[in-house]
Amino acid sequence: MLVVTNSIKVKPGHGKELSERFAQAKGVQEMSGFIRMEVWHEAKEGAEAEELKICTVWENEEAFKGWTSSESFRQSHRGGGSEFILGASLNKYELLVSNPPIG
């Protein structure tokens, strides 16, 4: 399993607004090998930026690559909110250990 995080720094006051784009994103949900997407928001009082952390979970690296090379990916990344974005970084993690609840 692969988790991909996209950490997006946005101008203060625009994090939740930008997150709406991800709430309405349907293309990724139709991709083979897609498991789930979560959007996390951090807004610290007085900070110079807010952060959105978009976490997508994939069956494997090939499934993620299929998404990034798709027309659906290109369509979903067109405009809309880029005026609020200050920077972004992408990271990939392979799941090595997962512990379910006991009981």
pLDDT the model gives residue 103 = 83
pLDDT the model gives residue 69 = 96
Sequence spans of domains, the chain:
2-50+59-94
* 95: Cβ contacts below 8 Å, ≥ 6 apart: 1, 2, 3
In the chain, count H helices and then E strands.
3, 4
Q: How many CB atoms lie within 10 A of CB 37?
A: 15
With 0-12 CB in 10 A as exposed, 13-18 as middle and 19+ as buried, what is 74? exposed
CB-CB contact of 12 with 49 (8 Å): yes
pLDDT the model gives residue 3 = 98
Containing H/E element for 85? Answer: strand 85-94
CB-CB contact of 69 with 58 (8 Å): no
Percent share of the chain, pLDDT over 70: 97
Question: What confidence tens digit (pLDDT) does each residue in 44-86 have?
Answer: 999 999 999 999 999 999 999 999 999 999 888 876 668 889 9
Q: Which CATH number is associated with domain 2-50+59-94? A: 3.30.70.100
